Amino acid sequence: MRTFLILAALFMVSFAANAQPRLPLQPMSLESLAAFDNPGENWKLAGSVQSDRHIRHDLTISPGSGILVNQPSEEARTNLYTDWSHGDIELELEFMMPQGSNSGIYLQGRYEVQLLDSWKRSQVTFGDVGGIYQRWDQSRQQGFEGRPPRLNAGRAPGLWQKLHIVFEAPEFDANGRKTRHARFARVTLNGSVIQENVTVSGPTRAAGFEDEAPTGPLMIQGDHGPVAFRNFSYRTFGSELASVTDVTYHEYHDQPLEEVTWSGLGTPTLTGTANTLQEHIVTSTSPVAIRYEGNLHIPRSGTYRFGAALGWITGDPHWSGHSIGGALLQISGHNILKHAQNKTIVYADTHLEQGVHPLVFSYHKAVGWGPPSVTLSIEGPTIPVQALLYPTQRPAPVARIPVATSNAPLILRGFVVHKGAKRTHAVSVGNPGNLHYSLDLADGALLYAWRGPFLDAASMWHNRGHDQTVSPLGSTLAFSGASGYSISTDEAIKFAGYRLNPYPVFTYSLGEAILEDHIQPHTDGTGLSRTITLSGTTDASVWVRAAVSDQIDALDDDRYAIDGFTWYIEDAADAVVLSTKNSQTLMIPLNQDADQAAAKYLIVW
């Protein structure tokens, strides 16, 4: 199973580049504490929670359910165990850390991913958030192993943070002897991969069990400090995988090739048999079609997701409206997946019962350009993304081309992909202190802010730089992408350039008025400070659009929690929240009674 989890990780990476969604994980109900074994008095449920980031261990709860809360005391500070056990598992959850607090997630009750308020720390260890905690040698009174996260992806106290873990349990032979160590295949915090392929030779310090076993319960540390959790979901993996056997293949080279895929018509030029789909790979560089027939073995009843990728179909708009290939998956005589568009990957879900199902997979390539590169994947209730058919030759991955900052702001023009759309007027600004952002110069829309390394420019600078895009390297906070300014008239705002002072000041013209946008790191590293000024004459009423979100919560002292306590806006004097049917907008007026109107706020995450 471990080998397939490794392969799954590879396919997840390649498919993620094209945004193939995964099957949803199984949610764990927090309507009661029934999912846990004998919870102590420090564990309770809440309907909502808040934590003031300025107050140590502050965590205020409101009655209700849906949120799991630990509030330890001297009398009650027990760890919490699930009443179910797991081996290989994919786990996702959200947590909120108050200032100075500490907890941990122990896979199988033995192997800890550390949870800590590590906000703004420039150097992190195994003891910081996302670290794989060290083991402990009692005889030597010394720790060993342990792995720090690749970067500090932690957020400010009082914000919800998302943790995603893919874990592989230790393996044992028939005599109970361990044959493979436990391994964290991947740990992702707030969208950033912070651990990969980390082997753990035994239980980490303060584990719930000293031995090792094929399975064990999930344990949450409860004796160190207050913490809140929500949106637990998981998938456990079984030992059996899907497979296709008893394959007959038919290869076609005569036109019309598309009739092979869509109608099963044509005279094959080559026919043969194979044990699996992978045993027969087409090597012809000419236009070709192939039809596979075989038996699909499903290990467990449930919903399965199939994905088909045709490597010569890249989504290039040049081929829009032209048919250069396609694919069709049929199971038990039913059309399940049809790849007939100019998309890189097409996927479809279907319910399958445990057992054997007749399968037909056909595809055609109507252009040359080398042998066909085809992937057919499956994902199910107890199996990760698994390739039933995959290319034997793949292009070598492009290495990152990191762009580093120094002691002065660095400004780089390059397209930025935001919510699936390429922003062609974007600029990315790298700052000393490693607080960076991307801005759309067309309308002043903030796209991303992040801490840590600056940019990867490989897609812009490698080879011909086809995409011309740059990507943040740190842990990103994504904004709505809405324009930073609201103008009451039809008068257009036009970008006029920028100057350095020493941070960039972006200038726009609005009729005879000049709008200037100052964005720079706050002096204490808390976040990004943004000040917009307006001078000159205009008939327009101008407001600053500080945030657009499904949920904006007004706190105190001109502070707001955005996106359900995912980030803060602070120091936003005179701000108002405007609500529509679908969203809320935080607006700050530019007071045009003064010679120079100004609005400012602080972004904290």
Asked if residue 109 lies in contact with residue 37, where contact means CB atoms within 8 angstroms, the answer is no
Residue ranges in 343-419 assigned as alpha helix (H):
none
As a whole number, mean pLDDT of residues 518-543 equals: 94
Where do we find the tokens 């949106």? Answer: 231
Counting beta carbons within 10 angstroms of the beta carbon of residue 140, is it exposed (0 to 12), middle (13 to 18) or buried (19 or more)? exposed
The 10s digit of each residue's pLDDT in 31-61 is 999 999 999 999 999 999 999 999 999 999 9
Domains and CATH numbers, the chain: 31-236 (2.60.120.560), 243-389 (2.60.120.1560), 398-481 (no CATH), 501-605 (no CATH)
Specify the pairing of strand 270-274 against strand 345-352. Answer: unpaired
CA dihedral sign of residues 32, 37, 41, 43: negative
The answer on pLDDT for 590 being more than 70 is yes
pLDDT, tens digit, for every residue of 392-420?
876 677 899 999 999 999 999 999 999 98
**pLDDT at 592 > cutoff 70:** no
Residue 12 confidence class, pLDDT cut points 50, 70, 90: very low
- Predicted confidence (pLDDT) at residue 118 exceeds the cutoff of 90: yes
**Spatial strand order in the sheet of 435-440:** 410-413, 426-430, 435-440, 445-451, 475-478
Q: Which among 2-16, 459-473, 487-501 has the top mean pLDDT?
A: 487-501
**What's the CA gap between 36 and 52, in Å, rounded?**
29
Is residue 109 within 8 Å of residue 231, measured between CB atoms? no
Rounded distance between C-alpha atoms, residue 388 and residue 306, angstroms: 10
Q: Alpha-carbon distance 147 to 6, whole Å?
A: 20
pLDDT tens, position by position, 137-158: 999 999 999 999 999 999 999 9
